[in-house]
Structure 1
Amino acid sequence: MNNKIKNDIEKIYSDRRIAAVRLQERRKQLVYTQIPRIKELDNLIRATCVCISHAKAGIRPGERLLAAFPAAVQYYFDMSEEELNSELNRLKEERQTLLLDANIDLDYMENTYECNLCQDTGYIKEDVVLRRCACYKKLLVSMLKKQSVMFNEEHTFDAFRSDLYSDVVDVEKYGIDSSPRKHMETVLACVKAFTDNFDNPSVGNMIFSGRTGTGKTFMANCVMSQLLESGKEVLFMPANALFKPFAVYENEERETMNDLRDMIYGCDLLIIDDLGSEKMTSSRYSEFIDILNTRAAGGKKILITTNLSPKNIRDTYDERISSRLLGMYDIYRFVGDDIRLKTR
């Protein structure tokens, strides 16, 4: 997760906690106005709890603490722990009766958080370990989707239609010894396995290679959709925009581009769409190699879609790049007719 998303999430939780405190205060004032005795009871309950903690420790509170309580409850400090617990139960019962008689929910003044499980902190303590709350994951997924401009909730594996591919075997036309439909169903199974086992270090990178209109970008979006749902950070970059963050920028745009560059290097999955459409220069060759090497060193995966065949990749890029792409990536060939013509 990049720092911007992390900071944005922390800001959201901070705002939620502030809102919860304000809502709680408003609700208290409404109840106190309607039933003044509730305010008295809340003060008495707090005083009783303080006295119980001191009684358990076997110490008497100092003069400053005594002065903070009304004279009417000072005698609490002379009561035994057993007497104090009995008094606390009596006060709570009276409070509960007053609220119920007024048809006010017993938790009305307490449960003001959006998530009462973590109290809008995003974390739950299990034993001595802090773990992310389910609401944190939900918020993270929402922000990752918002960040990913190419995200389309309709592009999922369940929406994949093998019937858009021909079931006719035509080796001369398609270059494979099975039908495009059967071939693409096999590709789908392999891509699903990649996504399901994404955290497995042995699962490598992928290249979707094929003619325009054979479903490469759709399939890449399916991968992105499932990974985003699991809380992974996915960056979808058109190849012709991949190097934009590496240029020199000024002022506010520089910060944005720095964040984007950090994501290119550090996101869980980088999707480079339509490789071969970008204009390569000597500096871009170096930047591209740096991206490939840095992500490989960090165990970060890449998915590439391209109209180029393996031979075209070798002819288009120099040895430093082509050897990495052809030697370190699983290449899946997308075949068939232009399915876009069948979905209009």
Structure 2
Amino acid sequence: MKGKKGQLVIAGLFIVFISLLAACAEDDEGGDGGSGGGSVTLYSPETPDLTNELAAKFQEIHGIPVNVDYAGTNVLVNQMIAEQGNPQADVWYGGGGILPFEAAIERDIITQYIPEAAEDWEVTENGIKMKHHDGYYVGTEIFVLGFAYNTELVSEEEAPKTWEDLLDPKWEDKIQFPNPAASGTSTLMVLSYMMQHGEEAGWEYFQQLTDYANSIPDSGSSPTTGVAMGEAEIAIGFDFMAYELKENGEAVDFIIPDETPVLVNPAALVKDGPNPEGGQLFMDFMLSDEAQEILASWNHIPINPEIESQTPISLETIQEHAIDLDIDWVNENYDRIRNEWNEKIQ
């Protein structure tokens, strides 16, 4: 009997051991009610504190941890290209608007997925492209390109109201804007102007604008920070950059030009990511009330009109300012225009 008891104990331990192995395997493979389980890896160039807050809220709701990998848009795109065949990310969120996402489709690093909340959206609404027509990305918030100004140095009345106003001699040596060869924010500025006025007029415009600038940093947000520090009176950048500084007590405000790029900042599912179900769940989450409220709290314009914007700008108020963006032209000329910047602008 003693031998049999020993055998029973060993058999029992073996069953427990097999059960533990099965449980571990289920965790590794994403056994969480079909939600993808495991963890979700998010690539994002957006403010780390913002993306970490989104990640924490997602984990609170779904019980799935999110690993946030932060870097600049171009760095992340190059990383996803290098990882083709063995992708490490599940979701890519943010990049200064739709342009890098459009280019990513050609590079085959993102795949099709549209959350249920966005299925009935029109592809383009009031001049703003809300999602990709074949479902490769979906907008999560709205960005407006315009002018930040230092309220201690410039009054609202005298601040520029159009892109042509920036060429007034009174702004000479008082403007900052990002380097289009490095910044997606500034590339958008250049391409949108050339779409409206032609390349010849565009190069002439930006040569004069460059002559008026006292600094052209690589970072998209640096000019707005420069305005807050009094290093410049006017900066070109996105709306939320100015409103974040204003909320922190800086002497900065924002002007929406009469005609300007207004575009969504998207999220996309990474092609062949390790946790596609979890990635889809995170994409769904980005359009939820909880995520949209977080974006609004960071002075981003929520794409959900039911969530109140924390800035003076909402989806309804900026639609009349939006210019049509010829996405096909952008895709064909994006790299060429960026490369020609350093050749043509002295």
- Give the TM interval when normalised to the shorter protein: under 0.3
Higher relative contact order (CA 8 A, sep 6+): 2
Q: TM-score, normalised by structure 2?
A: 0.22
- The structure in which a higher percent of residues are helix is 1
Q: TM-score, normalised by structure 1?
A: 0.22
- The structure in which a higher percent of residues are strand is 2
